[in-house]
Structure 1
Amino acid sequence: MSYISKIEEFAQSCADNMADLLGLEVSIIDELGIRVSGTGFHQSLIGKSIPEGSFFEQILRTGSKGTIFDNRKDHEHCISCIFHERCTELATMGYPVMMNDQPIGVIGFIGFTAEQRDLIVTNKEKLYKFMGTISTLLENKLLLLEVTTRNCEVHEGFQQEKRAYSFNDMIGESEQFHSVVKKAKKVVNSPSTILLTGENGTGKECMAKAVHYESSRANQPFITVNCSAIPETLVESELFGYDKGAFTGANRGGKIGKFEAANNGTIFLDEIGDLPLSVQPKLLRVLQEKQVERVGGTRQYSLNVRVIAATNKSLWEMVTKETFREDLYYRINVIPLRLPSLSERVGDIRLFLSYFLKKYSHILQKNVPKLDPLLEQWFLQNEWKGNIRQLENTVEYMMNMVESPHTLTFEDLPYYLHTRQNSSSLDSMVANFERNILAQHLPLNQKEQKEQLAKMLNISLSTLYRKLDKYGLS
């Protein structure tokens, strides 16, 4: 996976905002020469390679700031482009995205009209400074992601050190969680295909990594493929590679696919339920024959690859609707492992809370705040539809907003969590929650019981009496 494709949504958001602000079309290219983001006409080219010999390819190769082409047809750098005769761009400027002093992408501003061309030419210095700012923004986003994923994308409950993943580092004490871990440990060195199922955010990718790095293949490649993120027209060439001349715009020397890149290691087919039906027969053949044939080629390449697939969909339901091949379903569903949702492992929420609070205290260089007891109870009772990923995002938001030293309260929650069903304000949400907490401890017939409850909730006895009266519980 290229660097910028890891922040694809963020890059597209930047492109959209720049286009709206400047009135120019925007493209963002990754280090592989693939258009990751784009606006206008270039939005239809997302996922495709830029033309050989193009301006952006030269910036990728050299890391230079480039120049402005306001007469592209006659410019020496445009003549080598395979689309030279068909190009409709009147002006283009590009700026490299750098990381560790190496170009990992290009930001491009493009003008298709005379007005856009004049805008680029007249404001080139200001636009270059702006591009430099966006380039730094993308670099910083990637650096923050690198810090985050150094702990095995901890939102899914693992810790990582030097890309080594261990089951011993997994967060969780619930019986449901340990049950699936126990099964996974039994098959780390098996060549059989694993199918990981479970809701989004339950840790499927990190489970796949743990299986790989605990196995005898640990020193071999671990290749991740997000089947839902690849345009349908490119899926086959991405998975199986292509030979030279396979299609227009292909690299002259061809390109190996993800399966070949994972040889002797593990390939993780994430969101396999989104794999186009047209590609499924070839995947089935590759899994059965353990050989791959590149697009446009005739040679068979032998493979020794452990396959781990994952989905949040019901593949069997898709089989019954004929949107997923039945033979492929049986081929990948050899060892099914279902990861439990966070609602099934409520006892682990405190562990994740503690871990994420410490993690973002370190990243944001803040003291670890205390958690209001009522808020902690709310975390335990909330329906986390996004599972561990949503829980982490909530903590990350709160840690960004909280002023240290401080106790995290309901007021620090993200806005979208302020509104509940039949509740239109934060005050009513807190009131409903407080009443439920107090109601769980009724009846309170003795003063000693009330004193104990007040102590547990970290409030004064007089405050407890007021709240009991307020909610009609006295």
Structure 2
Amino acid sequence: MERIYKIVLDSIIEGIIIVDKDARVQYINKNAQKLLNLPSDIIGKKVDEVVKNTRLHIVVQTGIPEIDQVQHTENAVIITSRIPIKDENGKIIGVVAVFRDITSIRKLAEEITNLKEIEAQLKAIIDSTNDAISVADENGIVRLVNKAYTKITGYSPEDVIGKPATVDIAEGESIHMLIAKLRQPIYNARLKVGPAKKEVIVNATPLFVKGKFKGSVAVVHDVSEILKLTNELEEVKRLIRHMRAQYTFDDIIGDSKLIQIAKEQAKKVAQTPATVLLRGESGTGKELFAHAIHNASPRRNKPFVSVNCAAIPESILESELFGYEEGSFTGALHGGKKGLVEEADGGTLFLDEVGKLPLSLQPKLLRFIETKEYVPVGGRNVKKVDVRIIAATNMELEKMVRNGDFLPDLYFRLNVFPIYLPSLKDRKEDIPKLAIHIVKKLNQQYGRMVEGISPAVIKYIVSRDWPGNVRELENFLGRVMINMGPEERYIELKHLPEDSGLKVEKKDEEFTDIGEKSLKDLVEEYEKRIILTALKQTGGDKVQAAKMLDISIRTLYYKMERYGIDG
């Protein structure tokens, strides 16, 4: 039995360590030695003396199981489950630890002859996974099931163990029985199981010992869980924007000193491979700057991959960034999947809202930035890519570092070249030109033909602080344009939303006495008022007035002469 016991545990993909009631190592399988870089001569030694960061000696004392605990080793971050082993009187006689770097068991064993003889130890192992597992012998008789199996099928171990594998089938053919005939693996079989006729997908493989067929092991997946994961992945695809950079520095509107400083800094760093950290309030244009930096860099013809670290569920963010190998987790695609890091090879990876990156994933990103190397989820081979990192955040990373929410080393790696983007309240002189630019863009989106903004409205939007910055200003102007009639060409006070807080009477901006004036005369009178207002707001600076009105300086001089405006 001892030989069979060793064969079974050495064939399991997870690493296993078993200690006795004195916390001395009684068994360690090959995968545990490899994963923890341990020698084979530790049998009989105190586990806390030979295994770093172990808690097995603590579980021996407390008797409390520790399921799916994160443990750091020299080479990896692993998931460990520590489960007490008790005798028939409930007394602790040892503890088994199961080490794994993925959350599912791909293969239980290849050499199992008599499961009942080792059921007490093996059950502790397979009950540590969320996958439903059933094992049958060479005659198709069920010999072992785990707790997850009971949850999916509704059958307890007493209901099925010792009975033919057809006992839990509501619709379809027993996979265990098929394997007993075919002696071949069967994947993605659709069945209905249990009294509730729950639809499941079954993957099963035959078990051979020295070339002789000894039974089969099946992993059962609830189809509803798979559909949930599929929908989640589809949502991720919608949230992730994988594209070529669309914008350049010419698309960044503004002539204020602060925005010009930011643009000059961005242009300089664009020519280097240095990591850039874009900092500023929400809506200040961090993504726009990321596009522009990429397009001004030597990587402009390579991929630009943008990912919002806050928008992707934490449970799949690592696999989306770094990809995964086939069979890494339930629902993983056949052949695995490339991650966004690999998609960006040769180009730029833009990590938006990097301050929301989960703490558990930060060490892997740090190592990638330092070495440009990574290991896909569920993989063992190191991949190397050439990717330039641009990160962005509106959070106070320094405070997060002090609070332990952000790794100091990752902060220093990202903060190589910080660029601070000013808020609108700090560059109000740019607001008129920004507003005109936004109106032109919204004309295309809304199918409108708005030609300008009245001086009174310009004065109003310049007076506001815009805590949401350019994004808030764009949303506001969008609402204003929706309030306009299709034939209206100028945004006036009467178009502003009721909740804008404006106290000025809207009729002051309207022509109350048209008299016998022609439309041409009225338009010219209105245009003259706009030019006078622009010159007043710029202190008589004609260059700035022309930029505000989005016309050439030559056109401005012509209109001033036409309307008799003194210069």
* TM-score of Structure 1 vs Structure 2, range by shorter chain: 0.5 to 0.7
Alpha-carbon separation, structure 2, partners of 1:181 and 1:82: 58
Residue 492 of structure 2, aligned match among 406, 409, 422? 409
Separation of aligned partners in 1, 2:378 and 2:470: 42
Q: How far is the alpha carbon of 1:197 from its aligned partner?
A: 0.3
Out of 262, 272, 275, the position equivalent to 2:344 is: 262
**Letter in structure 1 aligned against 2:487:** P
- Tell me the amino acid that sits aligned with residue 247 of structure 2: Y
String of CA shifts for 1:318-343, please: whole Å, max 9, x gaps: 01111111111001100000111111
By how many angstroms is 1:345 displaced? 1.1
Q: How high is the sequence identity, in percent, across the aligned residues?
A: 40
Give the distance between the partners of 1:195 and 1:83, measured in 2 at CA. Answer: 49
The gaps in structure 1 that reach 5 residues or longer are 1-72, 92-110, 112-141, 143-148, 153-161, 420-425, 435-451, 459-474
Match of 2:397 in 1: 315
SS at match of 1:256: coil
Residue aligned with 1:389, SS? helix
Contact 2:171 2:192 in 1 (8 A): no
Offset at 1:89?
10
State the match for 1:235 in structure 2: 317
| Correspondence 1:393-472 to 2 at 5 A | 393-406=475-488, 407-415=490-498, 417-419=499-501, 429-430=503-504
Are 2:256 and 1:182 equivalent residues in the alignment? no
Per the TM alignment, residue 413 of structure 1 is displaced from its structure 2 partner at its CA by: 2.6
Which of 289, 294, 301 lines up with 2:371 in the alignment? 289
TM superposition shift of 1:85:
4.0
Q: Contact (CA 8 Å) 1:369, 1:405: kept in 2 or not?
A: no
Whether contact under 8 Å (1:165, 1:214) holds in the other structure is no
Alignment partners' CA distance in 2, 1:346 and 1:223: 32
User: Which amino acid is 1:282 matched to?
Assistant: K
CA contact (8 A) 1:204 1:339 kept: yes
Partners of 1:377 and 1:300 lie apart in 2 by 58
Q: C-alpha separation between the residues in 1 aligned to 2:362 and 2:530?
A: 61
Deviation of 1:169 after TM superposition, in Å, equals 3.5
Aligned position for 1:37? none
Following TM superposition, by how much is the alpha carbon of 1:164 offset from its aligned partner in structure 2, in angstroms?
5.2
One-letter amino acid of the counterpart of residue 208, structure 1: A
Kindly indicate whether the alpha-carbon contact (under 8 Å) linking 1:280 and 1:328 is maintained by their aligned counterparts in 2.
yes
Cα distance in 1 for partners of 2:389, 2:270 equals 12
The DSSP-based 3-state class of the residue aligned with 1:195 is strand
Residue of structure 1 in register with 2:465 after alignment: 383
Q: 1:234 deviation in Å?
A: 0.8
Rounded to whole Å, the distance in 1 between the matches of 2:530 and 2:284 is 36
In 2: Cα distance, 1:205 partner to 1:306 partner: 15
- The answer as to whether partners of 1:369 and 1:404 remain within 8 angstroms in 2 is no
3-state DSSP of counterpart to 1:309: strand
For 1:82 and 1:260, locate their aligned partners in 2 and report how far apart those are by CA, in whole Å.
33
Aligned to 1:468: none
Residue 328 of structure 1, aligned match among 410, 429, 449: 410
**Cα offsets for 1:408-433 (capped at 9, x unmatched):** 23342345x434xxxxxx6xx3369x
CA distance in 2, matches of 1:184, 1:280: 26
The offset of 1:394, in angstroms, is 1.2
Matches of 2:446 and 2:530, distance apart in 1: 34
Alpha-carbon distance in 1 for matches of 2:272, 2:189: 48
Is residue 308–residue 351 contact of structure 2 (8 Å, CA) maintained in 1? yes
SS, match of residue 187 in structure 1? helix
Decide whether the 8 Å contact of 2:280 with 2:394 is kept in 1.
yes
Larger Rg: 2
1:247 matched to 2:321? The reply is no
With structure 2 as the length reference, what TM-score do the two structures score?
0.47
Normalization by structure 1: what TM-score? 0.56
The residue number in structure 2 matching 1:24 is none
Contact kept? 2:453, 2:491, Cα under 8 Å: yes
Contact in 1 for aligned 2:303/2:348 (Cα 8 Å): yes
Deviations 1:223-252 (A, max 9, x none): 011000111111111111110111111111
Q: For 2:440, what is the secondary structure of its paired residue?
A: helix
Flag the structure with more relative contact order, 1 or 2, with Cα contacts below 8 A and sequence separation at least 6: 1
Give the secondary structure class of the aligned counterpart of 1:393.
helix
Tell me the residue number matched to 2:19. Answer: none
| 1:79-228 to 2 correspondences below 5 Å | 85=192, 165-228=247-310
* Separation (CA, whole Å) in 2 of partners of 1:213 and 1:349: 25
Q: Which runs of 5+ in 2 are unaligned?
A: 1-169, 173-186, 200-223, 225-237, 509-527, 535-567
CA contact (8 A) 1:204 1:310 kept: yes
State the 1:82 CA deviation. 6.9
Give the whole-Å Cα distance in 2 for the aligned partners of 1:403 and 1:344: 33
2:286 touches 2:421 (CA, 8 Å); kept in 1? yes
Q: Does the aligned pair in 2 maintain the 1:226–1:270 contact within 8 Å? A: yes
Query: What amino acid is aligned across from residue 234 of structure 1 in structure 2?
Result: I
* Closer/same/farther in 2, CA of residues 457 and 194 from structure 1, 3 Å limit: closer
**Cα distance between partner residues in 2 of 1:404 and 1:182:** 40
> Hey, what's the Cα distance between the residues in 2 that align with 1:375 and 1:356?
14
Measure, in 1, the Cα distance between the counterparts of 2:197 and 2:447. Answer: 46
Q: Secondary structure at the match of 1:223?
A: strand
Q: CA deviation at 1:369?
A: 4.5
Matched-pair contact (CA < 8 Å) for 2:247–2:295:
yes
Match in the other structure for 1:306: 388
Q: Per the alignment, do residues 261 and 370 of structure 1 end up closer, same or farther by CA in structure 2, a change over 3 Å counting?
A: closer
Tell me, in whole angstroms, the C-alpha distance in 2 between the residues paired with 1:430 and 1:83. Answer: 69
CA distance in 1, matches of 2:413, 2:297: 21
Give the whole-Å Cα distance in 2 for the aligned partners of 1:431 and 1:321: 50
Residues 171 and 370 of structure 1: CA distance in aligned 2, closer, same or farther (over 3 Å): closer
The structure carrying a bigger strand percent of its residues is 2
Q: 1:181-220 CA distances to partner (integer Å, 9 max, x unpaired)? A: 1111111121211100001111101101111111110111
Q: How many residues align?
A: 294
Structure 1 residue 397: Cα displacement: 1.7
Moved more, 365-374 or 272-281: 365-374
Give the AA of the match of 1:430.
Answer: V
Pair 1:89–1:212, CA change in 2 (3 A) = farther
Quick check: 1:195–1:336 contact (8 Å CA) kept in 2? Answer: yes
Asked if 1:374 is matched to 2:456, the reply is: yes
Q: 1:311 is aligned with what amino acid?
A: T
In structure 1, what is the Cα distance between the partners aligned to 2:189 and 2:283?
43
Aligned to 1:274: 356
Cα 1:215/1:430, change in 2 over 3 Å: same
Which SS does the other structure have where 1:367 is aligned?
coil
